[in-house]
Structure 1
Amino acid sequence: MSDPRLTPFSGRVAHVRLQGQIDAPAFTDGQIMRICAPLSDLLRRPDGPRDRQVLRGARVCVLDQIGDMAYVQAEADGYCGWLPHADLGADHTPTHRVRAPATHLYCAPDLKSAERATLSLNACVEIIATHGKFLQTHDGLWLPQQHLAPLTTHETDPVAVAESLIGTPYLWGGNSRAGLDCSALVQLALTACNHPCPGDSDLQERALGPALAHGTPKQRGDLLFWRGHVAWLSAPDMILHANAQTMSVAYEPLDQALSRIAPEGPVTSHIRPF
């Protein structure tokens, strides 16, 4: 059976590429739009629980709408779900991404001006003007230049990106500086380094590389997977993960983590992504 997380079918309408593969009442090419809200919850059903979140500037294909909720598939990782239609805007062309853990959108190019919203790491914006150390977005708001990078500029160390998020609160299905979970910590870090990455840990375990042989020496940048969990190795004897033990992004000695998690099952994969 197709994975509903990655299958663009709302239960009423499916993407045309699924014709001949599934029995759907209707098919559509969909409409390409962008997330215009700072952050949007991607829900399992129009009134259902959050599965993931999508950031400002993310490109999505809108396939269905019920009331004020739209069913979309995110272009970056293929994740499907429902979000408020009000969070969608026109398909503009972003020029920059947020490279800091978080930043503020200001109403004027002045650090003392009122902030209008917070954007998180990897949110994308279209810049149209510069004033001193501030850059103006296409909707007239301003961001500190120091917190942005051109879309063509990528980070090189995903663990360093993950380390910049230490202390972020744990949030199931979260994908932002306001709160994130274990798989989001991996996805955000790899995305900043221009490496595609699925949204959930089980998908990541299958997509990010072959499992290394048992006994392979561990090194910084490796990933360890348990049932329902993933962690970065920041050093051969230390992991970095968003975890429910501390309810935050935190370091944990590897031996301590292995002992603590052992009752839930063994490490299922040791992967060296890309």
Structure 2
Amino acid sequence: MTDRRFWRANARIGHDSLEGQLTDRPLVPGVTRRIRVPVADLCASPGGKRDKQLLFGQAFVLLEERNGWAFGFDPADGYVGYLRGDVLHDAPEPTHRVTARSTHIYTLDDIKSPDRLQLSCFSELAVVDETEEFAELTTGGFVPAQHLARLSWQAEDPVAVAEAFLGTPYLWGGNSTLGIDCSGLVQFAFHAAGRSCPRDSDLQAKLWDDAGDDLRRGDLVFWKGHVALMLNATQMIHANAHHMAVAVEPFEEARTRIAKKEFGEILRIARP
């Protein structure tokens, strides 16, 4: 059965990777555009529910624009959907990414100058010039140099990345420091460490080996529709609707509460 989250076609058009599978509509290679707003919702249908989000500067392979909506996919994880057409633009290839929890684009290389945008961690930027204090963007504006790293930068520990999100508001389908959900937090943490990870917990649960009886830092605990990261043998971190935030909890206390009120019993514990 085709998973619509990764099916690169709608009723009118498809991606050329589907050659041999689709013969009743045009197949196109698509064109890469980049996100021009701090956070953009990728929806299951035009005006439909949010599946995930893309951040400023990240790529989107555009297959079709129609009635103000852009259909295509995120090349980073293959997720297919619809963005509002006005969140996309042509932009240079990024050279840097934001590694601070968040930052601002300033009008001038002066922290007292007006700020244009607030950006989430992992937004991608094309830098044309750098000083010790600021990076100048090809699209205009300046970002504090301390908040950026080269695009090749990778975090050493996915769990430490998740910990940096502590207190971030819970948002279904969220993928930023403005709001994030359980599987978004896990994907963000592993992508920051240069490791492949799908967006949704049902897909994440199919990866990696089972953990042993001794819980360790970095183990992933899966319920039906929920996932948490172990900080150590007794504590876990997760984005959750109980706290409406990314929170740290004692594992056994959270396990008991979740079993009673939310997602039932644990399905699997994996060790990436």
* 3-state secondary structure, aligned to 1:206: coil
| Alpha-carbon distance in structure 2 between the residues aligned to 1:89 and 1:47 | 20
What is the TM-score of this pair, normalised by structure 1? 0.94
Asked if 1:210 corresponds to 2:209, the answer is yes
Q: Percent sequence identity over matched residues?
A: 42
> Which residue is equivalent to 1:156?
156
Q: Report if the CA contact (8 A) 1:103-1:118 is conserved.
A: yes
102-111 vs 123-132, greater mean Cα deviation: 123-132
> Which residue is equivalent to 1:259?
256
Q: Report if the CA contact (8 A) 1:230-1:241 is conserved.
A: yes
Asked if 1:64 corresponds to 2:40, the answer is no
> Which residue is equivalent to 1:181?
181
Q: Report if the CA contact (8 A) 1:174-1:184 is conserved.
A: yes
> Which residue is equivalent to 2:198?
198
Unaligned runs of 5+ in 1: none
> Which residue is equivalent to 2:88?
88
Which amino acid in 1 is paired with 2:266?
V
Q: Report if the CA contact (8 A) 1:109-1:131 is conserved.
A: no
What is the TM-score of this pair, normalised by structure 2? 0.95
> Which residue is equivalent to 1:233?
230
Q: Deviations over 1:136-182 (max 9, x none)?
A: 11111111111111112211011111111100000000111110100
| Alpha-carbon distance in structure 2 between the residues aligned to 1:24 and 1:238 | 53
CA-CA distance at 1:95 after TM superposition: 0.8
| Alpha-carbon distance in structure 1 between the residues aligned to 2:223 and 2:136 | 43
| Alpha-carbon distance in structure 1 between the residues aligned to 2:23 and 2:226 | 34
Asked if 1:135 corresponds to 2:135, the answer is yes
Deviation above 3 Å: which 4+ runs of structure 1? Answer: none
241-250 vs 92-101, greater mean Cα deviation: 92-101
Q: Report if the CA contact (8 A) 1:120-1:177 is conserved.
A: yes
RMSD: 1.4
CA-CA distance at 1:191 after TM superposition: 1.2
Q: Report if the CA contact (8 A) 1:103-1:119 is conserved.
A: yes
Asked if 1:272 corresponds to 2:265, the answer is no
Asked if 1:21 corresponds to 2:21, the answer is yes
Q: Report if the CA contact (8 A) 1:36-1:88 is conserved.
A: yes
Unaligned runs of 5+ in 2: none
What is the number of equivalent residue pairs in this alignment?
270
Q: Report if the CA contact (8 A) 1:241-1:251 is conserved.
A: yes
Which amino acid in 2 is paired with 1:156?
E
Which amino acid in 2 is paired with 1:238?
Q
| Alpha-carbon distance in structure 2 between the residues aligned to 1:183 and 1:18 | 28
Q: Report if the CA contact (8 A) 2:131-2:145 is conserved.
A: no
| Alpha-carbon distance in structure 2 between the residues aligned to 1:234 and 1:24 | 50
Q: Report if the CA contact (8 A) 1:99-1:192 is conserved.
A: no
Q: Deviations over 1:92-138 (max 9, x none)?
A: 22111111111111111111111111111111111101244010111
